[in-house]
Amino acid sequence: MTMKRIGTGRVLCICATAGLAAGSIGQAVAAPTDALIAAAKQEGQLTTIALPHDWCGYGAVIAGFQKKYGIRVNELNPDAGSGDEIEAIKANKGNKGPQAPDVIDVGLSFGPTAKKEGLLQPYKVSTWSAIPAESKDAEGYWYGDYYGVLSFEVNTDMIDKPPADWSDLQKADYRNAVSLAGDPRSANQAIQGVYAAGLSQTKGDASKADQAGLKFFADLNKSGNFVPVIGKAASLAQGTTPIIVRWDYNALADRDTLKGNPKVQVIVPKTGVVAGVYVQAISAFAPHPNAAKLWMEYLYSDEGQLGWLAGYCHPMRYNELVAQKKVPQALLDKLPPASAYKGVVFPMLPQQDATKDVVTKGWDQIVGANVK
């Protein structure tokens, strides 16, 4: 599976939402106006950037939009990162041609920054009230779209009893088995893995989670359970890293890709459930502003949200869709149970920055494992 990048790191951004489960349950779903649809069709094109087809089901989502509205999607640089998307807006301020992106899908930290730089224009989709306030800009300049949760990706051909929670990883059963999907001295996904482990140990006390997480991995390393290898699908299959702390959407995609060789189980831990979110926004200089707005309407409709979910990325309206029984059972059966996500924590940006500072500076001294 292609990994969508944020800047130079191939990781999700942990961002500022604290109450994702508090969406407007039972709310009627609105729809775009006929006038907007007509104006978008008149423009005839939408230009996207950094949307790999195998990322979050975007291939099917793009195809669905084109089929529904008859608007051509011009796809720029699918493998670009969030920083590249912002630079593309800057570089094409006066360009109305095919190299100017209309919309972006970026990590949260890029949303507020791009707004301050005047690179975005506000728009509130018709399902705006269903997006939790904590995960969107109040003025509509950016808004959360989907999220992933840190999970345990387990090679069950090698691990007879998969761990159910962070504390289980300390058991002798998992000697030479546990890895992170990145170097915690530089990779956000791994840094947040340390934070999540610590959050579990402190029973949710975020103020102590960073240090507790470092101690957790120091103990894991001393016991011989920690493997200082960056966990990937290949190392999982080879048995080098039979347990990987990884975003659930990547782990679930690996499960499909490996096709039972080996068998893979994806487990959301009982405690220390930490998530990260991406956000959508429209360029202030979009050549096709109405098509961009219609694209947002599509993404936040039931159809668009379920399209992301089919790619294993939890859409922002996930809890609402489940409560309204709009998620096909076949799709639910492929995911960890919905109940596993009820205690999910969305660290705010100041917490993310603080965690990064503590973990990157303290890893070598406290844990002492050279991850590579």
Residue 46 in 3-state DSSP? Answer: strand
Q: How many residues does the chain have?
A: 372
Residue 108 in 3-state DSSP? Answer: coil
Start-end of H helices in the chain: 34-43, 58-69, 82-91, 110-116, 188-201, 206-222, 233-238, 248-258, 289-299, 302-310, 318-323, 329-332, 349-362
Whole-angstrom Cα distance, residue 185 to residue 94?
A: 40
Cα-Cα-Cα-Cα dihedral sign, residues 62, 64, 66, 68: negative
The residue among 93, 145, 131 whose CA lies nearest residue 114 is 93
The values of phi and psi at residue 305, to 5°, are -65, -40
Q: Tens digit of pLDDT for each residue in 147-177?
A: 889 999 999 999 999 999 999 999 999 999 9
Residue 16's pLDDT is 32
Cα-Cα-Cα-Cα dihedral sign, residues 93, 98, 99, 100: positive
Q: Tens digit of pLDDT for each residue in 4-59?
A: 544 433 333 333 333 333 333 334 456 899 999 999 999 999 999 999 887 888 99
The answer to whether 129 and 317 have CB atoms below 8 angstroms apart is no
CATH number (3.90.380.10, 3.90.1150.10, 3.30.360.10, 3.40.190.10) of 20-147+275-341 reads 3.40.190.10
- The 10 Å Cβ neighbour count of residue 263 is 14
CATH 3.40.190.10 maps onto the chain at 20-147+275-341, 150-272+351-367
- The 10 Å Cβ neighbour count of residue 238 is 12
Q: Annotate 10-43 with three-state secondary structure.
A: CCCCCCCCCCHHHCCCCCCCCCCCHHHHHHHHHH
Whole-prediction pTM value? 0.75
Strand-pair partners of 143 = 136, 280
**Domain 150-272+351-367, CATH homologous superfamily name and number:** Periplasmic binding protein-like II (3.40.190.10)
The residue among 117, 116, 120 whose CA lies nearest residue 103 is 120
Whole-angstrom Cα distance, residue 273 to residue 69?
A: 38
For the chain, which ranges sit under pLDDT 70? Answer: 1-30
Residue 4's pLDDT is 53
Residue with tokens 């939790």: 132
The residue among 69, 58, 59 whose CA lies nearest residue 145 is 58
